[in-house]
Structure 1
Amino acid sequence: MSVETNKQMVKSTWEAFVKGDIKTAFANMSDEVSWLIPGNLSNLSGLRKGKAAILEFARNAAKTFPNGLQTQINRIYGDGDAVILELTNRGKLANGRDYENEYCFVFEVEGGKIRRVREYVDTQKAKELMS
């Protein structure tokens, strides 16, 4: 796949994921997909392997944001099989607080499917807002 095709596929996958359209999002992911959030927060950080583990994480995240998230994609970069999304997520937390945080996602594409995701976010800020 070309870099532009990878960028468009990742963007549409992210948009589907945020809307809760898991079927569309997962159609673009390898069966062996992994999703890593570096850090040491037990409910957020860690490595999730496979669609089932990612789905469980997404369902828990949906409970944290009962009205969903609004995503603003600020930039999208592509180089070879890597696509980087810089974005801002905003929403109302289940605890009533407003949430806004900056994210950087690195997607690795293999064979036309997303194989690895690395999510970089200020986990300390997220923890403070969620507690």
Structure 2
Amino acid sequence: MSTEQNVKVVKDFFAAMGSGDKQALLSLVAEDIEWIIPGEDWPLAGTHRGHAGVARTLRKASEEVEMTYPKPPEFVAQGDRVLAIGVAVGKIKATDKPFEDHWVFDITLQNGKLKGIREYIDTQALARASQTDAGPRH
């Protein structure tokens, strides 16, 4: 697929994520997708594989995190690689603590579907927002 087509697929992925349309989102990702979200001390951290892993991550995100995107992401692409660059603001529901997360999604596509996502995020801001008053989770 062309670079322009790949950017469109990634934009459709973000639109589906923003609208909560799980079926549309899953139709855009490969069956064997690997989605890496860095960090330890916040709810979405980990490596999520396949449609089941993506579905679990989306469910957990809707249950545990409130997030909005104040402006649309910027897209930088070359061939089968698309970088989405943006910012999210929100709060972790369990602690009611806010965060601001400047992020980059490094997305690889294969045959018109998202094959890999590696997020580069502000893990410290997200971990701080996830801390209970008793201190960090271990």
- What is the total number of aligned residue pairs between the two structures? 129
Q: SS at the partner of 1:127?
A: helix
Partner of 2:135: none
CA distance in 1, matches of 2:63, 2:44: 13
Opposite residue 14 of structure 1, the aligned amino acid is F
Structure 2 CA distance for partners of 1:38 and 1:98, relative to 1, 3 Å:
closer
Whether contact under 8 Å (1:92, 1:98) holds in the other structure is yes
Partner of 1:28: 28
Whether contact under 8 Å (1:73, 1:85) holds in the other structure is no
**How far does residue 96 in structure 1 lie from its aligned partner after superposition?**
2.7
CA distance in 2, matches of 1:88, 1:59: 21
Opposite residue 50 of structure 2, the aligned amino acid is G
Q: SS at the partner of 2:26?
A: helix
CA distance in 2, matches of 1:87, 1:47: 21
Q: SS at the partner of 1:129?
A: helix
2:67 to 65, 69, 74: 69
Query: CA-to-partner distance for each residue in 1:26-67, whole Å, 9 max, x for gaps?
Result: 1111111110123444743321110101211221111123xx
Whether contact under 8 Å (1:18, 1:69) holds in the other structure is no
> What are the residue-to-residue correspondences of 1:42-121 with 2, within 5 Å?
43-65=43-65, 68-71=66-69, 72-94=71-93, 95-121=95-121
**Gap runs ≥5 in structure 1:** none
**How far does residue 16 in structure 1 lie from its aligned partner after superposition?**
0.8
Partner of 2:37: 37
User: Whose radius of gyration is greater, 1 or 2?
Assistant: 2
Structure 2 CA distance for partners of 1:130 and 1:41, relative to 1, 3 Å:
closer
**How far does residue 111 in structure 1 lie from its aligned partner after superposition?**
0.6
**Gap runs ≥5 in structure 2:** 132-138
- CA root-mean-square deviation: 1.7
Opposite residue 21 of structure 1, the aligned amino acid is D
Percent of pairs with identical residues:
26
Q: TM-score, normalised by structure 2?
A: 0.84
Partner of 2:125: 125
**How far does residue 128 in structure 1 lie from its aligned partner after superposition?**
0.3
